[in-house]
Structure 1
Amino acid sequence: MPVRDFHEDDWPAVRAIVEAVVAAGDTFPYDPRWSPAALRDVWVERPPGRTTVAVVGNRVLGTAKMRPNRPGPGRHVATASFMVARNARGRGVGRALAEEALDWARDQGYAAMQFNAVVEGNEAAERLYRRLGFTVVGTVPAAFDHPTRGRVGLHVMHRFL
Structure 2
Amino acid sequence: MIKPITKAEFGVFWPTFADIIQARETYAFDPDMTLEQAYQLWCLSPQRAYAYMDEGEVLGTYYLRPNAMGPSRHISNCGYMVAPEARGKGVARKMCEHSQQIALELGYKAMQFNSVVSTNKVAINLWQTLGFEIIGTIPRAYEHGQLGYVDSYVMYKWLLS
State the TM-score, normalizing by the size of structure 2. 0.94
Query: Residue 101 of structure 2 aligns with which residue?
Result: 103
Unaligned residue ranges in structure 1 (runs of 5+): none
For 1:74-113, list aligned pairs within 5 A.
74-113=72-111
CA–CA separation in structure 1 for the residues paired with 2:39 and 2:29: 12
Query: Residue 25 of structure 1 aligns with which residue?
Result: 24
Query: Residue 144 of structure 2 aligns with which residue?
Result: 146
AA of the residue aligned to 1:70: A
SS across alignment from 2:44: coil
SS across alignment from 1:44: helix
Q: Deviations over 1:94-131 (max 9, x none)?
A: 11111110110111111100000100020111011001
SS across alignment from 1:141: strand
AA of the residue aligned to 2:5: F
1:15 is aligned to 2:17: no
Percent of paired sites with the same residue:
34
Residue 11 of structure 1 and its aligned partner are, at CA, apart by 2.0
CA–CA separation in structure 1 for the residues paired with 2:50 and 2:59: 11
Query: Superposition RMSD on alpha carbons, in Å?
Result: 1.2
- Segment of structure 1 superposing worse, 5-14 or 19-28: 5-14
Query: Residue 118 of structure 2 aligns with which residue?
Result: 120
SS across alignment from 2:60: strand
Contact 1:45/1:66 (8 A) holds in 2: no
Contact 1:62/1:84 (8 A) holds in 2: yes
State the TM-score, normalizing by the size of structure 1. 0.94
Residue 41 of structure 1 and its aligned partner are, at CA, apart by 1.2
CA–CA separation in structure 1 for the residues paired with 2:156 and 2:68: 14
CA–CA separation in structure 2 for the residues paired with 1:76 and 1:98: 18
Contact 1:45/1:65 (8 A) holds in 2: no
Contact 2:7/2:39 (8 A) holds in 1: no
